[in-house]
Structure 1
Amino acid sequence: MNTAAPVLTPTTRALAWCLHLLVLGLLALAAGRAVADGRPHTAQVVAAAAACGLVYAAGPLLPHTRRSRPAAAWWLAATGAVWLVLLALTPDAVWVAFPLYFLQLHLLPRRTGLAAVIATAVAAVTAFAAHTGSFSPAMAIGPALGAAVAVAVVWGYQALYRESEQRRRLIEELTATRADLARAQHTAGVLAERERLAHEIHDTLAQGLSSIQLLLRAAERALPDRPDTAARHVDAARQAAVDNLAEARRFVAALTPPALEGTTLADAVERLCTTTSARHRLAARFHLTGEPMPLPTAHEVALLRVAQSALANTVRHAEATSAEVTLSYLGDHIALGVVDDGHGFDPGQLPAPDPESGGFGLASMRARMNALGGTLVIESTPGHGTALAVRLPLTPPPKTEPEARP
């Protein structure tokens, strides 16, 4: 038997309070009708109703009743005993049987709860027949139908709860598995990139430098007696240096983001917005202001990386539906702004970057801007979206002084 109680949610708490109010209201109704109608044993009815209400109210207040099924069973037994006394005094107590069904099914094991519901229904029908002095099948319809409804509702809720818990566990396992897979893919990617770079450096720069070193040593040995041979070695070393420099430039060019190859920064950011909108549920719109101008590669790479990181954060964390990306050429500086309509966050409450959980995005963007003398500002409030703005200073090209007229 599983004795774990379901976790209370705001909805289940509200339902529990409704059930408590229903029980107390029905007890008050039985006592009130006894007083209003002037029935025999009015004082006893009021006393029994009050006692039943007190015993019932003690259950939710006692911690053992909520944590232990045996304690809950004893509480239900005490409540049922007082209710039977009230039921013997007035037929109006029959209505209290309906909320008792829910309590018995919810707090007792399945078989015990079902037996308690049947016993409660039989007691209600028997007492009502005794009060009226006759019995007919119609008298049993109400309590029996109420019991059937209670069984269907409680057992249906329990089945839904078990299914919900199973799905929650599956989702947690899937999330953990996806996180493990993402970490494994990231590690594999880092190792593959390191291996690629190692091969590139070994096959280009290292080999070229080694060749230059050998040629210069050969020239050094030939210098005193064979100047022509030494000159040839020096010339060969110079050519090797030229070739190695070309390889180094090719190597550096290979590290440039592919999105910037053969295009402008504005076109690259616009394509980024289009790709993000196509791949995710985010309408990313691009706006260009000012006259585009050639920028240093470092500036273009930094701005593109910031735009990529900002949109990635919007997609992953903000749950936004739209984002506005603005690239502005403003003469002596260039600005990039990313504004979304997501749920926002408190910039002052961000956790510190951690190798396990991540959180390096904003730190990386700030580092890129600081390295180029720029600034990064983030404005966000929980529930009101996020605005990110970066500014990079540009060194304007030297202006040609007009020639003096004669």
Structure 2
Amino acid sequence: MIRKKTFVFIGLLLFSPIILANKINPQCYDYLTELVKSSNFPFKEIPKKTCDLLIKADDHNTILAHINYDKQVLNIFSDTNKMAINGIIKYDTKHQQLYNISADIDPNHPVALSFNKEYAELFENCRKGIDTQNANNCTEINNKSLLNQTVFFPKKELKISQAGRTYFYSAPDENCKINNNLFIIKNDNIQVSGEFKGFYNVIYKKRNGGSVTGWIIKNNVTLPQENLQTTLFNKYEGDIFVSNKTAIKSINKSCTTKNIYNRTTEQAEQDAQRCVLSQITFPYDQFLNLDNGYQNEQDLEPNKKIYIWQSNNFNIYIKETKKSLSEGNDYIEITLFTEKNNGIIDQLIIYKEQYDINAFFVKHQYYFIDPSLTLSILEVSTLEEGTLVDSWRNYKINNEGKIILVESMTCDDTINGKKTCSSKHFTIPS
């Protein structure tokens, strides 16, 4: 859990639509929340540990805030009249004085409150830090890092492995530690959404329902034991049909037709169903339509790494490496990479799609990768007479991340005018 000296949680800051007069790191308001919780404010309907502050105004010298407790309705679009308000406080930052100015208090006689002065110092130090050159540099570093980080989707559920304190940073830089009072400890669970230069971009969910987002040093985190063997990202595993060598051998027979120009619509549909390639259900077309509104927010994007395997030995990701879209002639290429410590170990083109409408020519390369890291590749060409196999290959990704060819089948029509297929087997190096 989050530790801050003598307290164990951070209040969740919720902003109102009112524009604050001064820019401030939202993290600083967490200290103000703890300051209010430590005070003798007369919390009524609820335990004070569950309250949150809604900042209504901040002119740097005076802060006005509502004490709210119904988290379900509190958001920046909420109608403040519908919020569950426990009371209103005013904080004089210059003199470090806290007042109760709730509706039942005489506005001419606000009630002074006592509180733990430690939080006042933490709050003030945090506010002062906003104007330093280092903080500005950290903001710039963070903005650039968010654009260039390696994104994990879905987010990785990891666990802190380092004994002692793991501190939060506002940017992936050792000079950008937020403070010495914001940290998590060994065995705390986190969600990792990205990685950049030795840091993880993480989300820590607090027990009281809030969350903390920031960067932590990557070496303080370990993959959970259950994820060491396989963390295959099924969304991009491809279609299992590609691994079926028997089905592959039946393509040339089942996917051709002699009467392509004289078929009725019904006959064309019957030919399509007869072709064993109709068994492929994986949406490979998502790769071709990346720029046409197909993808969701976290789908593969141009030049974006998508990790489909995480292990202590190496990682595997896929990435769009070539794309050309023009009227009647489209080409897309997806490559699989193995890497360790951000260095590429091996790579292989796993998916290709090429259309030449004018020449009535279509070429596809399909893939499938299973949890044992066996990788199958199928290449087919579609001409006027139908679809025929060009090649089929089976690879194994070994423990060092090398992509090793195990078996291949190539089909050639230059010998007798018909595609003749021959297979070869290879020995995996020990």
TM-score by length of 1: 0.24
Rg larger for:
1
Q: Which has the higher strand share?
A: 2
TM-score by length of 2: 0.23
